[in-house]
Amino acid sequence: MFVLKHFGMKKTAAAKIENLYNGMIHKLQYTFTKEGVSVDDLKKRFEDLSNPQQANRSELIKMFLQTESRAEREAVGTLQELKTQDSLSNKSAEDSFSSKDATIEVRVVGDRPEPQIVMAKRKPLLDQSDFFRTRTASIDLPNSPAVVELDVNDTNLKAVKPFQVLSSNILERVFKVCENPQIVEKAQVLEDELRELKERIDNKYDDNLKGLHRRREEWVAKAKLKLVDEKESLVKENEIEFQEYISNIKNAFDRRLEKALALRERQYQKHLDDIQLFFSTEEELLRSWTQRVKIIEGERANNELTAYKNLIAEIFDKDVTLKLALAASLFQISALEDACKSLVSKNFMDYIDCKEWSSDLIKEKYHRELLPALSTWEILELQRLEPPQSWLHKDFLKSEIAQRRKIIRQELEEMNNRELHAITESNHPFPDLVEAAVSKRNSSRGMGALNASLKCAHIRLSNSNSTVSVIHPQRFAPVQGIVHVVCGSWGRPYYEVTIDHLDAAFGSTCAVGWDLKRESLANFPIAGLTCGEDGVSYGVSIQNDGFVNARGKAEFVGFSFHQNSVVGCGLDLANSRAVFVVNGKTIDLSAAQEEDMRLQANCAFVPAATIFAARLNSQCQVTFNFTGPFKFEQFFKDGRWSALADSKSKDV
């Protein structure tokens, strides 16, 4: 108590006294007691204790010596603790160095007086780049960033020196891609997810709305049925009561019935209003929920997509995309290479004037993988450009065009006549191939074949849609060509039909001629007997049994044909008059018959035939020839007739 009182410290812990004493010994000027006694005051009081005249001096000195000894022991323990803390701190520093936040200092030397220094995060760079992983494998600097020095004059780096790939601008972008290796892919995935999310929400809304409408209709129907049942029940009850009472009170019961029916009607209307209100509320809630989901999810996806697009715009622009591609190939960063390929393939024409195409690092790989993704028109445009407009290698373009010509030539050969007609009317990148295919088709099987889109189910077309075979007998089988002509114009188109098989002895028939152009053959029309879609016009045809069909009626003329016969069909467009030839002989008709066969002007006509197989095992087949050479060429000697395939109007 004397010590506590003497030093001015009341109820002070022993540790506090020791600290004050140690501070006094070492003259720590920042040591104070609770009562504000300074170090100098404490020292003076300690010196007073050294006075031999002071009471209890020896006990106090002994106590201070013990306190000092204990303080020294505590100091030793504190020193050990500090050493332990320093050891842990060093270990923590080493751990932090190896963490993902550690950096690598990349120095580019050899092209400038001062080295270019770019800092990169260690872990993403080593994970993505085999190049830097091998360069930093032997570096072990736990207390400082690893340093990788890139000499642009090095043999491995000299290939990219002319393109300034090792500039700080490019390296910073490369390191950003290493930190975000899938930014382009994630942006594309987010675009797809956003689109799918909108579609799913719309589909869910439509399904729920349909369900609400269906339930509303069911409830309304049930309410109507309930109303009908209640009305019927009331009527029956009224009739029973009416029979029990005398007739003079029937009016009273009728009035009561009217009131009851009116009440039920009002109840039904109220119930119906409740149903409408309920489902209107549900529909509004559904619409509100759907709108909120669209806004929230769409905003989230749009924000994330915008962030990735901004990052892409920050890293990739037109001037550095191919430089980054060179860096990706050099540093073996597949994520960066995929990102560059994706961006270049989307807007290939933006990069054709970049000199980086001449680099061996991307020349062959990018040409081989990106050129097949371009359209033929784009490749032809690239072939037309020459340096310095385009740095693309001509050999790759030439090889790609040759391969495409080979494929297109084969596709043109495999097309049917209708498809080839469509190609001739369009702007094709290789018109010489189309012209060659048309010429070959004209010389071999003819243009303007039968219209396969109007083919009925019980016939089969073959020989490039020029031969018709009946596969289901006892049915009328009509066919039409795809080349149409218009009466009232100029020209004399002609075609021939060869009767390959016809079971005429057992009632099978075949009518060939000119029919109105139709959108459907579902009513199994016969040219000349079935009116057109306008209800007043007819075509014209001749049958194998000697009849001519015109203006809705059939008239016997005596000229017949049979199996292996060749029937020629001509049309004088200026006079709207049809001409038929059987085995080289023109059918002679009277003036009245010729007038009946005159066709309606300004109407479109197509070659047509209708076959009827009378027996189950009948074989009926005819072959059309629209281009020639024809069996009977005498009509072409004066030059007034022409093959139907040469007509300009084609129903393609």
pLDDT band at 99 (very low <50, low <70, confident <90, very high): very low
User: Which SS3 state, helix, strand or coil, does residue 541 take?
Assistant: strand
Q: Could you tell me the pLDDT band of residue 495, with boundaries at 50, 70 and 90?
A: very high
C-alpha–C-alpha distance, residues 70 and 73, integer Å: 5
Q: Amino acid letter at 43?
A: K
- List the CATH code of the domain at 452-646: 2.60.120.920
Query: What is the residue type of 34?
Result: K
Q: What does the pLDDT read at residue 51?
A: 58
Band of residue 373 on the pLDDT scale cut at 50, 70, 90: confident
Higher pLDDT, 385 or 45: 385
b vs e for 542-581, b when ≥16 Cβ sit within 10 Å of the residue's Cβ?
bbbbebbbbbeebbebebebebebbbbbbbbbeebbbbbb
**Residue 100 predicted with pLDDT over 70:** no
Between 206 and 63, whose confidence is greater?
206
Give the Å distances, CA to CA, from 569 to 210, 305, 515, 573. Answer: 58, 66, 12, 13
How many C-beta neighbours within 10 Å does residue 366 have? 26
Q: Alpha helices of 332-362 — where are they, by DSSP H?
A: 334-346
- Answer whether residue 94 shows pLDDT above 50: no
Peptide bond into 388 cis (omega under 30): yes
Q: Is 542:580 a contact under the CB 8 Å cutoff?
A: yes
User: What is the pLDDT, as a whole number, of residue 30?
Assistant: 43
- Confidence (pLDDT) at 160: 82
- Domain boundaries, given as residue ranges, for the chain: 2-93, 184-315, 321-414, 452-646
Tens of pLDDT, residue by residue over 256-296, are 888 999 999 899 888 988 998 998 899 899 989 989 888 99
Q: Pick the more confident residue, 639 or 429.
A: 429
Burial of 121 (0-12, 13-18, 19+ CB in 10 A): middle
Report the pLDDT averaged over residues 512-526: 91
What is the tens place of the pLDDT at every residue in 417-471? Answer: 657 777 888 888 888 988 888 777 665 544 557 888 888 888 899 887 889 999 8
Average of per-residue pLDDT across 80-105: 56
User: 163-197: per-residue pLDDT in tens?
Assistant: 888 888 888 998 898 989 888 899 999 999 999 99
Longest CA–CA separation in the chain, Å:
170
pTM: 0.37
- pLDDT surpassing 50 at residue 586: yes
Beta bridge partners of 513: 541, 608
Higher pLDDT, 305 or 17: 305
Tell whether the model's pLDDT for residue 529 goes beyond 70: yes
Reported as a single tens digit per residue, the pLDDT across 110-137 is 888 888 899 998 888 888 888 888 877 5
Other C-beta atoms lying within 10 Å of the C-beta of residue 110? 15
Q: Which of 42-46, 110-114, 504-508, 562-566 has the highest mean pLDDT?
A: 562-566
pLDDT tens figures, 229-246: 999 999 998 888 888 878
411 pLDDT band, cuts 50/70/90, is: confident
Question: What residues does 324 pair with on adjacent strands?
Answer: none
3-state helix, strand, coil in the chain (%, to 5): 55, 15, 30
**d(C-alpha 270, C-alpha 220), whole Å:** 12
Mean pLDDT across the chain = 79
- Judge whether residue 33 has pLDDT over 50: no
Show the tokens assigned to 41: 């005051």
Helix boundaries (H) for 99-182: 122-128, 130-135, 168-179
**pLDDT tens column, 541-562:** 999 999 999 989 999 888 889 9
487, two tokens? 């009466």
Give the pLDDT score at 640. Answer: 72
- Opening angle at CA 619, ends 616 and 623, nearest 5: 145
Q: What is the pLDDT of residue 4?
A: 40
Confirm if 487 and 605 have CB atoms less than 8 A apart: yes
Residue 135 pLDDT: 78
Question: Angle 495-496-497 (CA atoms, 0-180°, nearest 5)?
Answer: 135
Indicate if the pLDDT at residue 225 is higher than 90: yes
In degrees and rounded to multiples of 5, residue 450 shows phi and psi of -70, 150
